[in-house]
Amino acid sequence: MTETTAGSDWQAWQHSWDRQQEWYMPDREERFRVMLDMVEALVGPEPRVLDLACGTGSITARLLRRLPGATSVGVDQDPALLTIAEGTFASDERVTLVTADLKDPGWTRRLPHSSYDAVLTGNVR
Ligand SMILES: C[S@@+](CC[C@H](N)C(=O)[O-])C[C@H]1O[C@@H](n2cnc3c(N)ncnc32)[C@H](O)[C@@H]1O
């Protein structure tokens, strides 16, 4: 039987995205874990994080599961992936999503804050 992902089942979209990304990077989950180990060790349990090229918000989701007191600003330029992120975090005040092209020299002007405790990213291409 073929599994499909449709409509606004955001968790299903996230699961589908994770499976696709893990095909390219089998140790992706371990990389995320180590990344968050570093954040927690260096800046504590309530960091303000910038999730660069956030896609569907995979890093942000893991951040908030592990450190519920964290906040995250996710930046990406892909409208489809940002739609999944917006659906996933719609009622979560800890998350802000920003549409921006990181190649645009003025992209930081779109951010809500001028400083962050940690800047995270994974697999930008
Ligand atoms: C392979 S995905 C990784 C997404 C997410 N970090 C993850 O690990 O699931 C790469 C992301 O980089 C974003 N990206 C690539 N170039 C970008 C640019 N110039 N500005 C903003 N986002 C960009 C893409 O839209 C995509 O969401």
Answer whether 8 contacts ligand 1 (Cβ < 6 A): no
In a domain, 3, yes or no: no
> Residue 70: which of 102, 21, 35 has the closest Cα?
35
What CATH number did the domain enclosing 80 receive? Answer: 3.40.50.150
Answer whether 53 contacts ligand 1 (Cβ < 6 A): yes
In a domain, 33, yes or no: yes
Q: Quick check: pTM over 0.85?
A: yes
Answer whether 73 contacts ligand 1 (Cβ < 6 A): no
Domain of 62 in residue numbering reads as 10-121
Instruction: Report CA(46)–ligand 1 centroid distance (Å).
Output: 25
Answer whether 23 contacts ligand 1 (Cβ < 6 A): no
pLDDT tens per residue across all 125 residues of the chain: 455 566 789 999 999 999 999 999 999 999 999 999 999 999 999 999 999 999 999 999 999 999 999 999 999 999 999 999 999 999 999 999 999 999 999 999 999 999 999 999 987 66
Count structural domains, the chain. Answer: 1
